Amino acid sequence: MKMHKPSNPVPYWRLSGFYLFYFASLGVLVPYWSLYLKHLGYNSLTIGSLIAILPATKLFAPYVWGWLADHTRRSIFIIRITSVLALLSFTLILLDNSLGWITFVMVLFSFFWNATLPQFEATTLNHLGEDSHRYSMIRLWGSLGFILIVVLMGDLLNSYGTEVIPLVVLITLAGIALSSFTVPEKLNTPHSDHSPIWHVIKQPKVMAFLAITVLMLCSHGPYYTFYTIFLEEQGYDSHTVGILWAIGVLAEVIVFLVMHRLLPVYGARKLLLVTLAFTTARWLLIGFFVDDLVILFIAQLFHAFSFGVFHAVGIALVHEYFTGSHQGRGQALYSSTGYGAGVAIGSLVSGFVWDQYGAQVLFSFASACTLIAMMIVWRFIQVPNN
């Protein structure tokens, strides 16, 4: 696969390698960590609360590290430090299974792990320069890493049981740390605008975008926290669960292959409206038709929109709204509001609702979030701002 070469060659494979390992780690933690916690004997409320730690630390960790990266202009140096510390922190999970210890390890680990991706997104876009619309051609390797690991995990769980989950996480974290040392530093472009970042955030279009991000990712909370458990309770085996996760991310890969053409043609507003409509339908299909494997398959194909299109549009808008010295914190803010606050709220709600009201109510809540987000897009994200 070849990319259009800008004036300064882009380290395509080295950037892609980092995404491969990072999203492989996500491919273990998102579908299977709740299963591991259930194996340890924790109830739904505790599982929801523990899962919420991973996104909750995104409320502050990326911004802390983003501030350091913006002021030192050494994003890769920050990424290398936090990648190694994330690996070392997670090894502590092997020492004890008590609730207090797991909580401590997850807070410590996620503080470092959540710091890496926003800074790497900024680094990738700096390497791409004027070819930022080709971001998706690099990011798709993260999706491939996710696919490989969720399919592999299905077979590993059948062979070795849930005890293998933390070991696979450690292997992926080692890959992240090693790959970070292969990527060259790319300083962000100095910018004449040194105004406080709040001057950017308070713009109506930016505040609307952040609200949409929170709602969209909140709707994913039930999916990330209980989708695997939901399927297993309905009688699906680990291999089938892994395939369903992989189908969703495969659809996402296809979108990343064409997003560099779609975004300039259709613009952010149209793509967001279509994406939110498909995401609303996706949650309803999962909640009400879990017994039908064909419908589950179709719902997973909609992941192309609910994550693939949304994330590519989101990264593009952040790159447009937050320029120069605001880049690192802009990416961190996008991560902390959506993948932090949004997913954390969705995960906590899931823990409360799952036992009390069941999957249909929970996924209806998810669809309500995306409907509200669609209304905000319609009102605030206008064509001239694309």
3-state secondary structure 158-196: HHHCHHHHHHHHHHHHHHHHHHHCCCCCCCCCCCCCCCC
Q: Mean of the pLDDT values across residues 330-347? A: 84
pLDDT tier for residue 328 given thresholds of 50, 70 and 90? low
Identify whether 359 is part of a domain. Answer: yes
Q: At what angle do helices 359-380 and 343-357 cross, to 10 degrees?
A: 150
Q: What is the count of structural domains for the chain?
A: 1
Identify whether 7 is part of a domain. Answer: no
What gap in Å lies between CA 118 and CA 132, rounded to an integer?
15
Higher pLDDT residue, 252 or 214? 214
pLDDT at residue 107 greater than cutoff 60? yes
Least confidently predicted of 182-191, 202-211, 360-369: 182-191
User: Mean pLDDT in the chain?
Assistant: 87
DSSP letters of 41-106? T--HHHHHHHHHHHHHGGGTHHHHHHHHHHHH--HHHHHHHHHHHHHHHHGGGGS---HHHHHHHH
Nearest CA to 66 out of 110, 24, 122, 15 is that of 122
Identify whether 33 is part of a domain. Answer: yes
pLDDT tier for residue 3 given thresholds of 50, 70 and 90? very low
163 Cβ contact partners less than 8 Å away, ≥ 6 residues apart:
39
Q: Mean of the pLDDT values across residues 5-11? A: 61
Task: Say how far residue 87 (Cα) sits from the centre of its chain.
Answer: 19
Q: What pLDDT sits at residue 195?
A: 66
What gap in Å lies between CA 79 and CA 124, rounded to an integer?
12
User: How many residues in total does the chain contain?
Assistant: 386
% of residues, the chain, pLDDT over 90: 54
pLDDT at residue 307 greater than cutoff 50? yes
Identify whether 224 is part of a domain. Answer: yes
Give the CATH number, domain containing residue 176: 1.20.1250.20
Sign of the four-CA dihedral 176, 177, 180, 181: negative
pLDDT at residue 351 greater than cutoff 60? yes
pTM for the whole structure: 0.81
Identify whether 4 is part of a domain. Answer: no
Asked if residue 122 lies in contact with residue 63, where contact means CB atoms within 8 angstroms, the answer is: no
What gap in Å lies between CA 346 and CA 70, rounded to an integer?
30
Identify whether 283 is part of a domain. Answer: yes
What gap in Å lies between CA 8 and CA 330, rounded to an integer?
24
Largest Cα separation within the chain, whole Å, is 59
Which long-range contacts (C-beta less than 8 Å, at least 24 apart) are formed by 102-105?
A: 102/37, 102/40, 102/50, 103/50, 103/53
- pLDDT tens-digit profile of 23-69? 999 999 989 999 999 999 999 999 999 999 988 888 888 778 877 87
pLDDT at residue 377 greater than cutoff 70? yes
pLDDT at residue 274 greater than cutoff 60? yes
Identify whether 1 is part of a domain. Answer: no
- Amino acid at the residue 55: P
Domain coverage including residue 156: 12-385
Q: Which stretch, 65-69, 152-156, 213-217, has highest mean pLDDT?
A: 213-217
Nearest CA to 123 out of 252, 14, 237 is that of 14
Identify whether 101 is part of a domain. Answer: yes
